[in-house]
Amino acid sequence: MKKTVLFLCTALITGCSTPPQSNDHHTPPIAGEPISDSNKKAIAALFSLLAKEAKKQWGEDEYIESSKHRYVKYLDGYQTRAHIDFDAGKIYVSTVSQHKPMEKLHKAIVQTVLMPADPKDIEQFTDKDIQLKGKPFFLGQVVDQEGKSIEWEWRANRFAAYMLENKLQSKTIKKGNAYYVQIDMVKDHLAQREYQYAHLVRDASKRYDIPEGLIYAVIKTESSFNPYAVSHAGAYGLMQVIPKTAGADVFNLVKKKPGMPTKEYLFDPANNIDTGAAYLYILKTRYLRDVTNPSSRHFSMISAYNGGTGGVLATFHTDRKKAMVALNQRSPSQVYDALTTKHPKDEARRYLQKVLYFQKDFKEGKI
């Protein structure tokens, strides 16, 4: 397994284009350090407000919220919701409304299957209706009772009627009765989402000299190609970019402009993939440029994308200069072993393993 991983990464880290260059030759600062309290507080406030309103309707036990691999949108005074499990390929549309519940479910099913591909057009922290415009995100990922893609409202309405007549389920919760339907995505739903972003990944790969397979693997690990992904850490979109850390670095070091991206900017898939790939470029060419072995650098930049450069170095020594020396004294397989067994954060240990595992499935030119 170790030899396979090493061979894979050695083959994938080479590039053929010239990315943007940095003029800074001073010792680089450390990226990916603990997220600022203000950033955490801002996203926590949004989640807290949503939870407060939704729990009034659903109760503590039945409350569900969005995460990196799950999208949850509340509607109708928080009494109705769409819950999308991107890993399992399941969509649950539910309501606890006791006033015309079937009408509420019908409307929510239509809005869910036709929800726009651009996440900026959806307010996931409110109960406002989903505005139906542009290409539906689930086009090709969800089909109706006839096996046909759902692109227009007339077909979505007919599908909703079919689901309510044939697939309606109910259960008793503390707040009363809940009615719901389960919609199964097509078997290749993940591949369908991958294909939506193939041109963006290809462009970002060429722009920053980052392998397409690595970008795909990071997206799959971070969000399962869920463009609506949001976390309590304040990370947004497909590559889960945090505005005040990775986002600010990209703006300042690559885009050469002050400030940091907004969440609206990062919810745009093109901006998100560009920013995530640019941050990988920063890790590779700036923060971890002193890692001499290309495979060791590859492992380190993947680990740093999740746990910060400081976490990578702390794996080898408490003193950062000594840590870099110690890292370079190890073989790539020893670096991999250290980062997957001795990294200070358990999540970062698993993260490197996951990304490398997924990267095997995304060889250049696959999509």
Give 167-196 pLDDT, tens digit per residue: 999 999 988 899 999 999 999 999 999 989
Q: Is the pLDDT of residue 23 over 70?
A: no
189 located within any domain: no
7 located within any domain: yes
291 located within any domain: yes
Q: Of 142, 157, 184, which one is at a domain's C-terminal end?
A: 184
Same domain, 179 and 201: no
Residue 271 is predicted with a pLDDT of 97
Same domain, 289 and 338: yes
Q: What are the pLDDT digits (tens) for 237-266?
A: 999 999 999 999 999 999 999 999 998 999
In this prediction, residues 74-98 reach a mean pLDDT of 97
Same domain, 166 and 210: no
- The residue among 220 and 8 whose pLDDT is bigger is 220
Q: What are the pLDDT digits (tens) for 292-330?
A: 999 999 999 999 999 999 999 999 999 999 999 999 999
Q: Is the pLDDT of residue 36 over 60?
A: no
Same domain, 122 and 249: no
Q: How many domains does the chain have?
A: 2
Same domain, 149 and 229: no
Q: Of 137, 157, 184, which one is at a domain's C-terminal end?
A: 184
* CATH number, residue 203: 1.10.530.10
Whether the CB-CB separation of 232 and 43 falls below 8 Å is answered with yes
In this prediction, residues 58-63 reach a mean pLDDT of 95
Interatomic CA distance for residues 155 and 134, integer angstroms: 16
Model's pTM, two decimal places?
Answer: 0.85
Q: Is the pLDDT of residue 270 over 80?
A: yes
In this prediction, residues 73-84 reach a mean pLDDT of 97
Torsion angles phi and psi, residue 93, rounded to 5: -115, 120
Interatomic CA distance for residues 296 and 227, integer angstroms: 30
In this prediction, residues 107-131 reach a mean pLDDT of 91
Same domain, 252 and 221: yes
Q: Which of 18-27, 218-227, 267-276 has the lowest mean pLDDT?
A: 18-27
Same domain, 13 and 108: no
- Closest by CA position to 62, among listed 179, 169, 228: 179
Interatomic CA distance for residues 136 and 90, integer angstroms: 17
Residue 65 is predicted with a pLDDT of 95
Residue 43 is predicted with a pLDDT of 86
Same domain, 156 and 203: no
Range of the domain at 297: 2-30+197-359
- Closest by CA position to 249, among listed 239, 236, 258, 240: 258
DSSP H stretches of helix in the chain: 2-12, 37-58, 101-113, 153-166, 189-196, 198-208, 212-223, 248-249, 263-267, 269-282, 294-314, 320-329, 332-341, 346-359
Residue 19 is predicted with a pLDDT of 44
Same domain, 317 and 241: yes
Instruction: Show which residues are catalytic.
Output: 222
Q: Is the pLDDT of residue 9 over 90?
A: no
102 located within any domain: yes
Whether the CB-CB separation of 331 and 3 falls below 8 Å is answered with no
Q: Is the pLDDT of residue 147 over 90?
A: yes
The tokens 């009034």 sit on which residue?
A: 56
The tokens 């955490």 sit on which residue?
A: 40
In this prediction, residues 188-214 reach a mean pLDDT of 95
42 located within any domain: no
In this prediction, residues 52-74 reach a mean pLDDT of 95
Residue 10 is predicted with a pLDDT of 42
277 located within any domain: yes
Q: Of 184, 206, 234, which one is at a domain's C-terminal end?
A: 184
Same domain, 163 and 20: no
Interatomic CA distance for residues 58 and 97, integer angstroms: 10
Residue 63 is predicted with a pLDDT of 96
Alpha carbon 347 to its chain's center: 15
Round the average pLDDT of the chain to a whole number and report it.
Answer: 89
Residue 138 is predicted with a pLDDT of 96
- Closest by CA position to 80, among listed 186, 195, 160, 193: 160
75 located within any domain: yes
Q: Calculate what percentage of the chain has a pLDDT beyond 70.
A: 88
Whether the CB-CB separation of 111 and 130 falls below 8 Å is answered with yes
Same domain, 179 and 208: no
E-strand ranges in 174-266 read: 176-184
Whether the CB-CB separation of 203 and 19 falls below 8 Å is answered with no
48 located within any domain: no
In this prediction, residues 71-89 reach a mean pLDDT of 96
Same domain, 174 and 270: no
Residue 305 is predicted with a pLDDT of 97
Q: Is the pLDDT of residue 6 over 50?
A: no
